[in-house]
């Protein structure tokens, strides 16, 4: 691929993630997806090879963004409580709810995927976060696992119920228990 192709591919990937965060990818076909991002099915296949690979690339891109968020948060915080609080602020911000919904859609789909586009997404997201979270918290794998599971559980509750006050109180209890 040429440098121009790489730039166009990156631009499409950003648009695809934006679309996916708002609409999901589970039930979309290539033609409406291409139209939504200002492309054609032929060009999407040129850049990504197949719909399955396109979905995998969007997932990788979404995880890369999350890992950058984690790195930025860890870089700015020296205390484990500050790390979790900064992560929670970003993750629970209503401006990010669509991308978080897309994450959970992909995570849930990966639980039943056997070789498909969603295969391995959930496991990769855990394996990528745990070492970084363990380092930031200065704890063990078990502590990082507990923190990650608790954050994700609280996010699911928040997205499902919209009960911000109750979920925020639970987050504060989590901080005290860790």
Over the stretch 43-70, which tens digit does the pLDDT of each residue have? Answer: 999 999 998 899 889 988 988 888 888 8
89-130 confidence digits (pLDDT tens): 999 999 989 889 989 998 998 998 787 888 898 999 999 999
**What dotted CATH number matches 52-177?**
1.10.357.10
What residues contact 63, with CB distance under 8 A and at least 6 apart? 121, 124, 125, 128
Domain ranges of the chain: 52-177
Q: Are residues 90 and 155 in contact, defined by beta-carbon separation less than 8 angstroms?
A: no
Is 42 a residue whose pLDDT tops 90?
Answer: yes
Q: What b/e string do you get for 160-178 counting C-beta neighbours within 10 Å, with b at 16 or more?
A: eeeeeeebeeebeebeeee
Q: pTM score, two decimals?
A: 0.83
Mean pLDDT, all residues of the chain: 90
pLDDT at 6 (0 to 100): 78
Residue 1 pLDDT greater than 60, yes or no: no
**Pair 59, 106: CB distance under 8 Å:** yes
Q: Which of 159, 34, 59, 62 is nearest to 116 (CA)?
A: 59
For position 3, what pLDDT does the model report?
A: 60
| pLDDT confidence band for 38 (50 / 70 / 90) | very high
Q: Which of the pair, 96 or 170, is modelled with greater confidence?
A: 170
Say what the pLDDT of residue 45 is.
Answer: 94
């Amino acid at each position: 691929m040429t440098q121009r192709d790489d730039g166009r591919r990156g631009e499409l990937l950003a648009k695809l993630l934006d679309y996916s965060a708002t609409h999901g990818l589970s039930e979309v076909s290539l033609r409406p997806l291409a139209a939504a991002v200002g492309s054609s099915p032929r060009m999407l296949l040129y850049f990504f090879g197949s719909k399955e690979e396109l979905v995998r690339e969007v997932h990788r891109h979404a995880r890369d963004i999350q890992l950058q968020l984690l790195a930025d948060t860890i870089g700015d915080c020296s205390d484990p409580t500050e790390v979790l609080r900064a992560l929670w602020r970003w993750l629970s911000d209503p401006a990010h709810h669509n991308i978080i919904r897309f994450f959970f859609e992909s995570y849930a789909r990966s639980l039943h995927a056997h070789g498909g586009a969603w295969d391995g997404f959930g496991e990769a997201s855990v394996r990528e976060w745990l070492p970084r979270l363990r380092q930031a918290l200065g704890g063990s794998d078990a502590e990082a696992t507990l923190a990650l599971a608790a954050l994700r559980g609280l996010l699911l509750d928040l997205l499902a119920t919209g009960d911000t006050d109750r979920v925020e109180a639970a987050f504060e209890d989590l901080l005290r228990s860790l």
